[in-house]
Chain A
Amino acid sequence: MDNFTVGVVVFPGSNCDRDVSWALEGCLDIRTKYLWHESSDLSDVDAIVLPGGFSYGDYLRCGAIARFSPLINALDEFVKSGKRVLGICNGFQILTESGFLPGALVTNKNLNFICDDVELDIVSSKGGWFNNVDEKQTIKLPIAHGEGRYHCDSDTLKKLVDNELIALRYKNNPNGSSFDIAGITNEKGNVLGLMPHPERACDEIIGGTDGLFTLKSLILK
């Protein structure tokens, strides 16, 4: 595991890339490498994080332009090979825009940019992203978004529920998300997208460590 390297993607407008790198390197001793969005060579990374921020200024729709970057094009093969991809906040929006995850993220119901700590129920630990030791486990993670309301049609929601693809649900839905959804995985479980920021909850000194498990699970095979 010594050489295991997590690629942290940097788009113009990403602003959580350094936080993710700090959390992985400083708190978990996992090596990281920044990947500029124009690179399509993913051969020397073992997992990828799409960090939060405002890629391409969130022009048109959040994540809509980022979807066309060479790196996202190369991500298809990476995901198919079973390697792990974590999309946080804007990264989650990019994963839905590019079709790696179903649904879409739209403007918060109350129109506010919400910056807060939220309580989350771990619904499924598919893919091993969460430490689901007992059925009613909750964690607390920070959120910071204006467009985090998860939306999908009823067929998609049924599929998410039936296949245990809903990873996290808000205890007190802050943004109007369908079914209180805060994070979902793909069917294989190797792609997780979530609006909360695990990288901002990796040290007691900044308010909690509930994000550590998810970041650490990037090194799972």
Chain B
Amino acid sequence: MDQFAVKVFVRLRPSVLDPAGEATKSASIKLGAEGIKSLRIGKMIEVKIEGNDENEVREKIDLLCDRLFTNTVIEDYEYSLEKL
């Protein structure tokens, strides 16, 4: 069995207002940062997982992303996968 490190990035869909992102954007501007056009906050989930091969692990991660890590009504996801 191989071990894989997976980083899942969860983002609010573009159509969903992100008030926390807006507030952070406003604070960033107050801090003096210029040129910020958009700021949105998501989350990152790190998983270490065993599997026979990458395809098997991807299947498991897809299931986790679709059914637990994200609510697809409001969120999108993408992930990177690295064999350890």
Residues of B with C-beta under 8 A to A96 = 73
A42 interfacial by beta-carbon distance below 8 Å: no
A151 interfacial by beta-carbon distance below 8 Å: yes
Which range holds the interface residue count of chain B?
10 to 19
Name the distance in Å between B9's Cβ and chain A's nearest Cβ. 15
Q: How many interface contacts (CB-CB < 8 Å) are there between A and B?
A: 35
B-facing residues in A83-108 (Cβ within 8 Å): 96-97, 102-104, 106-108
In whole angstroms, what is the CA distance A148 to B23 when docked? 18
Residues of B with C-beta under 8 A to A109 = 17, 19
In whole angstroms, what is the CA distance A153 to B72 when docked? 11
Chain A residue, CB-CB nearest to B18: A107
B-facing residues in A21-73 (Cβ within 8 Å): 60-61, 64, 68
Contact A111 B17, beta carbon cutoff 8 Å: no
- 0/1 string, B1-37, CB within 8 A of A gives 1: 0000000000010011101100100000000000000
In whole angstroms, what is the CA distance A106 to B12 when docked? 10
Question: When A111-B23, A151-B16 are in contact, do A60 and B68 touch as well, CB less than 8 Å?
Answer: yes
In whole angstroms, what is the CA distance A103 to B20 when docked? 20
Residues of A with C-beta under 8 A to B12 = 106
In whole angstroms, what is the CA distance A153 to B17 when docked? 12
Contact B20 A111, beta carbon cutoff 8 Å: yes
Residues of B with C-beta under 8 A to A208 = none
Residues of B with C-beta under 8 A to A60 = 68-69
22 A-B contacts (beta carbon < 8 Å): A60-B69, A64-B68, A64-B71, A68-B68, A97-B71, A102-B73, A103-B73, A104-B73, A106-B17, A106-B74, A107-B19, A108-B19, A109-B19, A110-B19, A111-B20, A111-B23, A149-B17, A151-B16, A151-B73, A151-B74, A152-B73, A153-B73
The 4 closest A-B pairs by CB, nearest first: A104-B73, A104-B74, A111-B19, A109-B19
